[in-house]
Amino acid sequence: MKINAMNHEKIDSELAIIQKRCKIRLIDAIDVRQNILVIENKLTKLLPESKWKGVKIIVDVHAQHFPNCYGGSPESTQVTLEYFSDWFITSIDRTLCNSVINRYRLILSREQQLNMVDFIVKTF
């Protein structure tokens, strides 16, 4: 899957398929776009935009911890975003959201990690 994050119709169409029988912890194309804006704001503080190619971010808007007394296995819709020349959705899944992870999981290559450290040191 590779959907441009600006293609709201296609995103909503894919989300409708994935979230067909779901009633809670859903997302739509507007949620994706709003989260991209937050991600870009965070990412510009860590890495120059010229080095973003290949950055992957797993977005789980509903990531939270549920108490043990909660019955069932809470699921939410997760979107994997990857930056090429723009943001693209490379995966959409319904997965367990009973986690203490943050809303965003940043996945960087070794080179991007080194560039990030260098950028932070230079701009500190």
**How confident is the model over 61-93, as pLDDT tens digits?**
887 766 666 666 788 899 999 999 999 999 999
Region for 98 from its dihedrals, namely left if φ exceeds 0, alpha if ψ lies in -120 to 50, beta otherwise:
beta
Give me the amino acid identity at 108.
L
Q: How, if at all, do strands 87-96 and 75-83 pair?
A: antiparallel
- The answer to whether the beta carbons of residues 93 and 77 sit under 8 Å apart is yes
Total structural domains within the chain: 1
pLDDT tens profile 15-65: 999 999 988 889 999 999 999 999 999 999 999 999 999 999 999 988 776
- The answer to whether the beta carbons of residues 32 and 79 sit under 8 Å apart is yes
Instruction: Quote the domain boundaries for residue 81.
Output: 3-123
